[in-house]
């Protein structure tokens, strides 16, 4: 099935290439029949919409986990800070309003379940097997390791683990996502099935 975005994804804030968007959709289309999708790091919802369109097709759901306070690189004074997403009232980044608007505009209010919390907190009582896990949260080593350790065990056999921002060349980007990719492969629990741009797709054996 072809991925037809419900709105122009290029107009949305976020960091996801076209080929990555398509790959996320296709992976979720295959796996969300077996269990819901959980995404870590939704930001303004660009990737959530790709996953959500596939889940809606299957009558499944996307749990979109994000504290919506921005990652390290989104904070004031940092390279990826966006003043539109800064809430002067709370003196914090707040991406939830923009996220919510985009999910509604995409017609996915009945498919996407936002979880506005830290990854470790949300994982504490989690007990639902996942068809797919997409890790695109904080890019510090601590954050990436926590996301991996908290959630990977919930993935069903045959499910897909997707990791964004894989840069084997350290000059091109941070190394934390690449570190958890290698950890997954070294565990013997996964095989890499595709690499699309900076997106790695692994299958849980
Ligand atoms: Mg990313």
| 104 in any annotated domain | yes
d(CA 171, CA 169): 5
Task: Give the Å distance between the CA of 127 and the centre of ligand 1.
Answer: 26
Q: How many domains does the chain have?
A: 1
| 5 in any annotated domain | no
CATH number, residue 64:
3.40.50.150
Taking the chain (205 residues) in runs of 10, the rounded mean pLDDT of each run is 94 96 98 98 98 98 97 87 90 96 98 98 98 96 97 98 96 95 98 98 98
| 3 in any annotated domain | no
| 190 in any annotated domain | yes
Task: Give the Å distance between the CA of 155 and the centre of ligand 1.
Answer: 20
| 6 in any annotated domain | no
Write down the pLDDT at residue 71. Answer: 87
* Predicted TM-score (pTM) of this structure: 0.96
- Enumerate residues 6+ apart whose C-beta is below 8 A from 131: 28, 31, 32, 33, 34, 35, 36, 37, 60, 156, 159, 160
| 177 in any annotated domain | yes
Task: Give the Å distance between the CA of 17 and the centre of ligand 1.
Answer: 10
Output the six-digit token pair for 154. 């919930």
Q: Is 81 a catalytic residue?
A: no
Could you tell me the residue range of the domain that residue 131 belongs to?
13-204
In 88-103, which positions are buried (b, 16+ CB within 10 angstroms) versus exposed (e)? eeeeebebbebbbebb
| 34 in any annotated domain | yes
């Amino acid at each position: 099935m072809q991925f037809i975005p419900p709105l122009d994804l290029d107009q949305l804030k976020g960091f996801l290439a076209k080929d990555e968007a398509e790959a996320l959709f296709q992976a979720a289309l295959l796996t969300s029949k077996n269990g819901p999708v959980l995404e870590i790091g939704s930001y303004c919802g660009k990737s959530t919409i790709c996953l959500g369109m596939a889940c809606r097709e299957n009558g499944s759901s996307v749990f979109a986990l994000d504290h919506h306070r921005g990652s390290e690189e989104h904070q004031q004074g940092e390279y990826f800070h966006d003043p539109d997403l800064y809430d002067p009232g709370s003196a914090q980044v707040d991406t939830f309003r923009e996220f919510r608007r985009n999910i509604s505009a995409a017609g996915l209010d009945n498919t996407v379940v936002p979880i506005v919390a830290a990854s470790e907190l949300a994982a504490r009582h989690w007990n639902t097997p996942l068809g797919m896990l997409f890790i695109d949260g904080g890019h510090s080593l601590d954050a990436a390791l926590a996301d991996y350790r908290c959630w990977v065990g919930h993935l069903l056999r045959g499910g897909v683990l997707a990791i964004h921002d894989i840069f084997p060349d350290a000059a091109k980007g941070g190394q934390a996502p690449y570190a958890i990719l290698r950890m997954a492969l070294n565990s013997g629990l996964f095989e890499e099935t595709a690499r699309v741009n900076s997106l790695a797709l692994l299958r849980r054996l």
